Amino acid sequence: MKTLFALLPALLLMLLLFSGCDRNPLFFRLAADYYPVTVVGSQWEYSVNGGGSLIVRVLDQVEISERTCYRVLTGGDYGYWIDENGRLEHYEDHRVMFNGFEVPLYQAWVTWLDWPLAVGSARADSISTFAVSQRVTISHDWKRTMQVVDIGDSPDGRWSDCYRIRLTETTVNWIRAGGFEPETTTVSRDIWLAPDVGMVASVTADSTLTLDEYRPGV
Amino acid sequence: MKHILALLFAVAMVGSAADLGVTISVGPSFPIGQWGRNLSTGIDARLAGEWMITPSLRAGASLQGMAFGSTDGGSASLTMIIPQATVSWFLRPWGNTFNPGIEGAFGLCRSSLANGTGEDPATWDPAWRAGLRWDFSLGGGFRGRIGADYSSILAEKEQADSFAILFGFSTEVTL
């Protein structure tokens, strides 16, 4: 009986310690940066299924629409990001080609993610606007929905504690002139964000991006 | 919750021959480290029952709750519930205005993160805290208590430390 009483505190201590090993590192996820685009020089190299690669690099800090942001080169396209006050914002720059001219339709900062991420959390952003070019009205409707689907490993199993996010973007451009019909584009993709690495995989119906190498900037 | 009440009841029964101190305290809690990068200052509230083994030495059980919101005033919230065993020692329990003491606790923390309609799986992790107390008489059988605590949740991969300032009052009951 005495032995049992002596063992009881040890058993209790073991129970308490093992209870922390349930593979659910919530505070690790809270501490991690799931989209580290605020370090100049960081670079991600992705391979594209079927051949090819994509390089994403944080170039520098610039000012866009009176806000200081990070300029990111993705392939040949520039993107602009701000990560502050608990949210990640992306500069939406929507344009359309019409009669050989590039017509700006919408430019503004839109929240991309609300930190901290949690499974099931979702956000939807939409705009409805128009522009007039060469005496023709072009209407533009855009909607983006994002939902955190689950937590787990990346598809290639290389990264753990990833948040999988389902992102759907629908754009309807309509040149309001004879002979033109609304042009609808819908892109759906699942992306995996790894702690302190960022996007490690992106899967659409017809393509898969997989992170090969990540070099954080200094 | 049921287990906590049972534990408090057990402590009360053990201490029925002596006095039982009941303390309620509340105060701001400040995350220390990267885990609080997207969280604001939180609130810490506690209900404790202490068996007064001697006038100076007390042991008992406490239920501690902490809640943090998101920095942008958004919809995220992190809540923690910690049932714990406590031990405290006071230098001058008879002191009207100056009764400094120390308090320590060890328990299990249930942490739950929610954001909008989403919620991460909850986790249970060992947790401890230690701090200083200044206890003084408020009259009418009540005592005031001011304190500061350093606490830590021993979670996987990243431990969550925080600092809390506490304001509370206590009274003695005999069951």
Domains and CATH numbers, chain A: 33-215 (2.40.360)
The residue of chain B with its CA nearest to that of A146 is: B118
One-character DSSP codes across chain B: -HHHHHHHHHHHHHGGGS-EEEEEEEEEEEEESGGGTTB--EEEEEEEEEEESSSSEEEEEEEEEEEEEBTTS-SEEEEEEEEEEEEEEES-TT-SS-EEEEEEEEEEEEEEEEETTEEPPPEEEEEEEEEEEEEEEEETTEEEEEEEEEEEE--SSS-EEEEEEEEEEEEEE--
What is the percent of chain B where pLDDT is above 70? 89
- CB count within 10 Å of CB A108 equals 13
Locate the domains of chain B by residue range.
2-173
Can you tell me the distance from the alpha carbon of A98 to that of A157, in angstroms, rounded to the nearest whole number? 44
Using the Cβ of B154 and the Cβ atoms of chain A, whether some distance falls under 8 Å is answered with: yes
Chain B nearest-CA distance from A40, in A, is 20
The token duo for B139 is 């009259």
- Asked if A27 lies within 8 A of B153 by C-beta distance, the reply is yes
Mean pLDDT of the residues in chain B: 90
Contact A30 B70 (CB under 8 A): no
Q: Which residues pair with A187 in a beta bridge?
A: A169
A26 closest CB neighbour out of B36, B123, B126:
B123
Cα B53 to Cα B112: distance, rounded to the nearest angstrom:
35
**Residue A14 belongs to what H/E stretch?**
helix A2-18
SS3 (DSSP) at A158 = coil
Q: Which residues of A touch B109 (CB under 8 A)?
A: none
Give the CATH number of domain B2-173; options: 2.60.40.150, 3.10.580.10, 3.40.1350.10, 2.40.160.20: 2.40.160.20
How far, in Å, CA of B145 to CA of B22, rounded? 12
DSSP A117: P
A11 in B contact zone (CB under 8 Å): no
What is the ipTM metric for this complex?
A: 0.86
Give, for all 218 residues of chain A, the pLDDT tens digit: 445 444 445 545 555 555 545 578 999 999 999 999 999 999 999 999 988 999 999 999 999 999 999 999 999 999 999 999 899 999 999 999 888 899 999 999 999 999 999 999 999 999 999 999 889 999 999 999 999 999 999 999 999 999 999 999 999 999 988 888 999 999 999 999 999 999 999 999 999 999 999 999 98
| pLDDT confidence of residue A23 | 76
Q: CB under 8 Å to B136, separation ≥6 — which residues?
A: B95, B96, B97, B98, B99, B143, B144, B145
List CB contacts (< 8 A) between A163 and chain B: none
Tell me the CB-side half-sphere exposure of residue A148, using CA atoms within 13 A: 28
